[in-house]
Amino acid sequence: MSLVETGRGCNHNCEFCSISRFYGSRYHARSHELIEADIKASPYKYFFLVDDNLVANSRNAIELFRRIEPLKIKWAGQGTLSMAKDPELLRAMKKRLRDYSDRVREP
C-alpha cells in the first residue's frame, strides 16, 4: 500500500479537533495533477489517500474520484460523516470504490 497526500485541513470547527485550529477551519486541496502523478509513479495498486477530511470540499472530491478512476487503483481515505448528506458524493464514491461498492447504499 502506498500513501498519497490529497489535502490538508478541514472546513469544520469541531471543538475536540486540533486540525481545525491549526488550519483555521480551512481546507487546502492538493493539485489533482500532482496526486495523479504520485499514483502513476508508485508500483502499488492499493492507496491510502492521506487527508484530514477527504470530503471537506465535495466538488473537489468528486472531481478527484473521476480523475483517478481510469488508473484502476483500489483506495481508502477518511472523511467526516457529512458525506452521508451528499447523495452525489456518495454515488461518486460508490462508483470509484471498487472493493467496497456493495457496502455503499443509495440514500
pLDDT at 104: 47
- Entry pTM: 0.82
φ/ψ (deg, to 5) at 41: -80, -15
Please report the pLDDT score of residue 53 as a whole number.
94
Span 59-78, pLDDT tens digits: 999 999 999 989 989 899 99
Q: What's the confidence (pLDDT) of residue 65?
A: 93
Cβ burial of 13 (10 Å; 0-12, 13-18, 19+) is exposed
49's grid cell: 489517500
* Segments making up each domain of the chain, as ranges: 2-103
The percent of residues in the chain predicted with pLDDT above 90, rounded, is 64
> What's the CATH number for 2-103?
3.30.750.210
The answer to whether the CB of 11 falls within 8 A of the CB of 19 is: no
| 3-class secondary structure, 85 | helix
Res. 49 pLDDT band, cuts 50 70 90: very high
- What is residue 91's predicted lDDT score, i.e. its pLDDT? 86
